[in-house]
Amino acid sequence: MKAILEAKPEDASEILHIQKQAYRSEAELYNDYDIQPLQQTVSGVEKDFESSFILKYVLDGKIVGSVRASKENGTCHIGKLMVDPDFQGRGIGKELMREIEGRYEHVRFELFTGNKSIKNIAFYEGLGYKGYKTHQLPREDTVFLFMEKTHSKIK
């Protein structure tokens, strides 16, 4: 049985565990294990609940995916879409994106991924996102591709 539900702060530990597993491949791709998703702590995830709306994908009672979003000045910033590596390739990420976008109306959506993350870029392009700039954030060495979408028609 599956469900996409609003996550609660008590889910932070389980979400962080999935996050560290899911972002390991990104760290390997960039040979940088100091990336923020791998350095975040349980208290950091708990703090994210103060500023973000967080969904969890529950399969047979276990959280196997999550995504975060926050709205500011007409833009919905989507972050940390993750799926447990053992459950990737089953459409869970697409379902999470459909659900999180469905929570926001009449907004521009924005997210970012590493500019070498070809698989992620192709995934987001398949959902209607287009790259519009590359930028390096102060906290990381990775150059990110920022992507945007002005409507939420995910099929």
User: For 100, what's the count of Cα atoms within 13 Å in the CB-facing half-sphere?
Assistant: 32
Distance set, CA 139 to CA 20, 28, 36 (Å): 17, 18, 8
| Confidence check: pLDDT of 154 > 70 | no
Contact (Cβ atoms closer than 8 angstroms) between residue 153 and residue 129? no
CA distance 134 to 137: 10
Domain ranges of the chain: 2-106
Local confidence band at 147 (pLDDT 50, 70, 90 cut-offs) = very high
For the residues 16-35, what does the mean pLDDT come to? 94
CATH homologous superfamily for the domain 2-106: Gcn5-related N-acetyltransferase (GNAT) (3.40.630.30)
How do residues 32-63 score in pLDDT, each as one tens digit?
899 999 999 999 999 999 999 999 999 999 99
Q: Which two tokens stand for residue 65?
A: 């995916």
Q: Is the pLDDT of residue 151 over 90?
A: no
- Ramachandran category for residue 92: left, alpha or beta (phi over 0 → left; psi -120 to 50 → alpha): alpha
Q: Per residue in 69-95, pLDDT tens? A: 999 999 999 999 999 999 999 999 999
